[in-house]
Amino acid sequence: METELIFDTERDRYQVVHVGWSDERCIYGCSLHLDIRDGKIWIQHDGTEGGIANELMKRGVPKSDIVLAFHSPFKRQFTEFAVG
């Protein structure tokens, strides 16, 4: 099993994926997918234990600059984070 970091700095898209083999079975999974759009961090997928939004806030990123994109646009208004 390998962990791959995928950085598309031209389009501001970032992923962490796991790829490899377990016995005869192919394993692939995205554990984290972030995009940067209009100065905000869009969390497309978060499979981390502690939550990447919490880690970003610990590092000084305000909630108003974080979009929980894995929630529907309707549901985002009920979070403490940016809606888009």
pLDDT on residue 4: 97
**Which residues does the chain have with pLDDT short of 50?**
none
pLDDT on residue 51: 96
pLDDT digits (tens, 9 = 90+) for 40-60: 999 999 999 999 999 999 999
Q: What are the C-alpha distances in Å from 32 to residues 13, 23, 42, 49, 53?
A: 11, 25, 11, 11, 11
pLDDT on residue 36: 98
Single pTM value for the model: 0.90
pLDDT on residue 66: 98
Domains of the chain: 2-76 (3.30.310.110)
